[in-house]
Amino acid sequence: MSRIGKKPIAVPQGVTVTVDGQAVKAKGPKGELEFVVNELCTVALQENEVSVTPVDNSKPARSMWGMSRTRIANMIDGVANEFSKSLELVGVGYRAQMKGSSLNLALGYSHEIDFPVPEGVKIATPKPTEIVVTGNDKQKVGQTAAEIRAFRPPEPYKGKGVKYADEYIFRKEGKKK
């Protein structure tokens, strides 16, 4: 039995959820999202709660049960209050700034990197060494932050690179003479 799948999803005030067959739509102050649930699960909306149940007790149905419930919960949470990921740039001369609808990064390469901001995601640079990615879709926010981090992942000797704000970089000792 899925411990996550069993829990009903509470719908907060200001958010409207509609279930149309396998399609679940959530509309709130931060936008509107839609998710189509796999046919191995059924979705029901009672009062202010959304519940997901598997069609049968097969392994694939139970696998999709918890995942579907989590995706719907993240969707409802995203339209109520946005998700955000913070990134830090560590290194001499490393900086970021917004230029129109793209993020301009100077990460120690011979050229600057222009990263186009995906639709449904907002990027802010409060400081030249700080990037904040926000949006109502948790998957898009995480994917965008991961793509920015992939331009220069942090290295273990000096910790230079693009890292998440809450990330710990395991340090290695340099060469000894």
Encode pLDDT of 75-102 as tens digits: 999 999 999 999 999 999 999 999 999 9
Can you tell me the distance from the alpha carbon of 127 to that of 130, in angstroms, rounded to the nearest whole number?
Answer: 5
Evaluate if residue 139 carries a pLDDT over 90: yes
Q: Which residues pair with 2 in a beta bridge?
A: none
Q: What is the pLDDT of residues 102-131, one digit of tens each?
A: 999 999 999 999 999 999 999 999 999 999
Q: What is the pLDDT of residues 9-68, one digit of tens each?
A: 999 999 999 999 889 999 999 999 999 999 999 999 988 899 999 999 889 998 899 899
Task: For the chain, list the domains and their CATH numbers.
Answer: 3-80 (3.90.930.12), 83-164 (3.90.930.12)
pLDDT band (50, 70, 90) for residue 1:
low
* Mean pLDDT, the chain, integer: 92
Can you tell me the distance from the alpha carbon of 19 to that of 23, in angstroms, rounded to the nearest whole number?
Answer: 6
Q: Name the nearest CA neighbour of 145 among 95, 106, 107, 88.
A: 88
User: Identity (one letter) of the amino acid at 114?
Assistant: D
Evaluate if residue 2 carries a pLDDT over 80: no
